[in-house]
Structure 1
Amino acid sequence: MADHESPPRAVVLNCTLKRSPEPSNTQALAEVVAKELGDRGVSVEFVRIADLNVPPGVKTDLGEGDDWPRVHDLLVNSQILVVASPTWVGKPSSLAQRVLERMDAMLSETDDQGRPVAYNRVAGVVVTGNEDGAHHVISEISGGLADIGYTIPGQAWTYWHLGPGPGPNYLDDPKGHEWSAKTGRAMASNLFAVAEALAARPVPAPPE
């Protein structure tokens, strides 16, 4: 990437409701995307939001005990963001929504050229669940990230959903893994390509 002497960086925000070390289906699929990014020279860091204290709010720093400022620092020092969420009752997890709400503060933050800090960064979405609703979750999260200023490449998502009715989870059922992995690799390729393009020709600050 032309603007970055160091290797490009990515952060994956895993919005599972499970705390470590409980196995996460969402983590497992997100790791497919992370591996493809890593194979392209990208340094990838995972953050499991459930392990942190991220209180509700729309500010970058809510004071003592708030772990969000560390996450914010990762966001502004990364060129690629992946938000990974399970589906619950057909919607993104509550932690995925919390992440978007805390990222709202980025709308009023600018870089040294007057651009919103999310400009010239790309984002994508990973979704898992044993119920319907993957495309709804993808659209909800992608729409929020675009509002904040991220560029969303075409096909910047992958998902695994069992289908109608309850049943096994991603880690319990191999059905559909090949498709999800292939789609995840394409997602990583598209994220990387658009991040490179933005590094070479950045989006300027909005007109006055």
Structure 2
Amino acid sequence: MTIKALLLNASLKSGDEVSNTESLMHEAVSIFHKNGIQTEIVRLADYQIAYGVTADEGNDDEWPEIFEKVKAADILILGTPIWLGEKSSLATQAIERLYGASGMTNEKGQYIFYNKVAGVVVTGNEDGAKHASASILYGLSHIGFTIPPNVDTYWVGEAGPGPSYIEAKGNQNEFTMQHNQIMTYNLIHFANLLKEHPIPSEGNVVKNGS
């Protein structure tokens, strides 16, 4: 049984720049690989993603390419840095675009993101990790993703300006690494569970695609 994980990095840096958020995401990837999970990281800043709340905004919009990867995945992790205590603008945009497909349904007539699980990775040298995680996980739950317990992992530095995750050797932080492990294994467990026992259609078939 093949399980696929897609990790969307909402860093504002393009793919040729080092990303603290992606560095922490690689800790999850290493566990996925040990458990035979197919993984892919997508740097959202490398794509031309149009503003809007539909699955395809046309006019050279590259979101549909990312959306196809989301549809093929069993596990979705959205990673974001913190800016002014909030998730990044790209993280917000990704959720808006995912929400644009919330009227689509699967073969059972359920919301299209049913039987997919999701988690969140956050990095920053300022406060806001739990706020960003709560916002992202609620948004993903609201559009149909299953959110297992403890599927947020984060690293933040001391108050005020200072070194970020890589420079501060965040991968040696016991709390962050423990929560990365808990998140990743819970995502794997629930993804396998939903593969074997998908959510039944009784009581949650969408009428008229809304």
TM-score (structure 1 length as normaliser): 0.94
Q: Does 1:151 find its partner at 2:146?
A: yes
1:170 is aligned, of 160, 165, 173, to 165
Once the 2 structures are TM-superposed, how far is the Cα of residue 106 of structure 1 from its aligned partner? 2.1
Whole-Å separation in 2 of the counterparts to 1:39 and 1:177: 21
Q: Does 1:203 find its partner at 2:177?
A: no
2:42 is aligned, of 47, 54, 62, to 47
How many residues are treated as equivalent by the alignment?
203
1:120 is aligned, of 102, 115, 118, to 115
Q: Which runs of 5+ in 2 are unaligned?
A: none
SS in 2 for 1:190: helix
**Residue of structure 2 equivalent to 1:183:** 179
SS in 2 for 1:73: helix
Once the 2 structures are TM-superposed, how far is the Cα of residue 196 of structure 1 from its aligned partner? 1.1
**Residue of structure 2 equivalent to 1:30:** 25
> CA-to-partner distance for each residue in 1:25-81, whole Å, 9 max, x for gaps?
000000001111111111001100001000110011111311100110001100000
> CA-to-partner distance for each residue in 1:166-197, whole Å, 9 max, x for gaps?
10111111255333122111110000001111
The aligned runs of 1:6-17 (5 Å cut-off) are 7-17=2-12
Identity of aligned residues (%): 37
Partner letter of residue 187 of structure 1? M
TM-score (structure 2 length as normaliser): 0.93
Partner letter of residue 93 of structure 1? S
The aligned runs of 1:44-123 (5 Å cut-off) are 44-123=39-118
Which is further off, 9-18 or 161-170? 161-170
Q: Which runs of 5+ in 1 are unaligned?
A: none
Whole-Å separation in 2 of the counterparts to 1:77 and 1:94: 25
Please tell me whether the aligned partners of residues 53 and 100 of structure 2 are also in contact (alpha carbons under 8 angstroms). Answer: yes
Whole-Å separation in 2 of the counterparts to 1:20 and 1:107: 29
Please tell me whether the aligned partners of residues 3 and 192 of structure 2 are also in contact (alpha carbons under 8 angstroms). Answer: no
Whole-Å separation in 1 of the counterparts to 2:107 and 2:31: 32
Taking only aligned residues, the RMSD between alpha carbons, in angstroms, comes to 1.2
> CA-to-partner distance for each residue in 1:9-39, whole Å, 9 max, x for gaps?
0100000000121000000000001111111
